[in-house]
Amino acid sequence: MLKRTMLVLGLICFTVPAVAQTVDELIAKNTEARGGAKNIKAIKTAKFTATMTGGPLEMPITILWKRPNKVRLEISFQGNQIVQAYDGKIGWMIMPMLGSKDPQKMPKDELEQIKDQADDMIEGPLFEYKKKGHSVELLGKEDMEGSDTFKLRIKLKSGKERVYYLDSENFIELKQTAKIKRQGVEVIQHSFLGDYQEVGGVMFPHTVDTKNAQGQGGQISIKKVELNLDIDDGVFKMPEVSKTPKTPKTPKTPKTPKTPKKAS
């Protein structure tokens, strides 16, 4: 009985490090496939010029990013300029479609999403995941439309979870699955990454197809990636809303004093 117990304990001791090592090996290979840690860390700023399509609509998009966690997204839609930005502390937006062209602070759900986006733009949660406070679990292999993939579940420091699918041959990310909130409703979003191209020694996907559980979604096509531009911190900060001065009240006209009656 004692020998059997020691054997089981021995198997556990050897199995746990092996699984952890497999996860770290996969992530290390993913980092190298993307261009290596040195090249990724060398990126200080980035500008993405893209178009987003959804049904018959096609909208130009510009995304600005700056280390460590600043991001600004601009979308042109029917003559209006939609802005979403995060300066590392405050998330804000301009949404003319909601009836106002003034900047306003983001609701909680949108704020959490843009914080994640600031990390996703260049590094992503797999890169140096332990330093970021995340944990990763290997769920095994899975076929994804004919491609054999490694399936990794990531638990972010915030408590949210994602699932990443890495190509088993070149270790590049092919798919991400995450739960996001839209207008207070939690939905599952699948993102399919493709058309990888090298820019500045780093591989970037140039197409991202997003779909929900019902198959509805759109596509982002990246036309240009520019790295290490001079981007001022001010573009990420929330502008002050100019207050319209109150119209001063018109002073009341003083009453004409009554003429005293003459004594009779």
pLDDT tens per residue, range 157-197: 988 999 999 999 999 999 999 988 776 778 899 999 999 99
Q: What is the pTM of this model?
A: 0.81
Q: How does residue 245 score in pLDDT terms, banded at 50, 70 and 90?
A: low
Q: Which residues pair with 164 in a beta bridge?
A: 152, 176
Domain presence at residue 164: yes
* Domain membership flag for residue 258: no
Per-residue pLDDT at 98:
79
Please name which of 42, 43, 40, 82 lies closest in space to residue 63, comparing C-alpha atoms: 82
Question: Considering the chain, what is the average pLDDT of its residues?
Answer: 86
pLDDT score of 57 more than 90:
no
**pLDDT tens digits, 58-100:** 999 999 999 999 999 999 988 899 999 999 999 999 998 878 8
Statement: residue 237 has pLDDT above 90? yes
Residue 3 lies in a domain: no
HEC string of 207-221 equals EEEEEECCCCEEEEE
Find the range with the poorest average confidence among 25-39, 41-55, 106-120, 248-262.
Answer: 248-262
77 belongs to a structural domain: yes
What is the CATH number for 155?
2.50.20.10
Q: How far apart are CA 23 and CA 154, in angstroms?
A: 11
User: Is 159 or 242 the better-scoring residue by pLDDT?
Assistant: 159
pLDDT at 254: 53
For residue 85, tell me if it sits in a domain. Answer: yes
**C-alpha closest to that of 233 among 72, 16, 3:** 72
Range(s) of the domain holding residue 187? 35-236
Question: What percentage of the chain reaches a pLDDT higher than 70?
Answer: 83
Are 174 and 167 in contact by the 8 Å Cβ rule? The answer is yes
pLDDT at 263: 52
Does residue 241 form part of some domain?
Answer: no
The answer to whether residue 202 sits within a structural domain is: yes
Highest average pLDDT, of 13-22, 52-61, 92-101, 220-229, comes from 220-229
Residue 242 belongs to some domain of the structure: no
Number of domains within the chain: 1
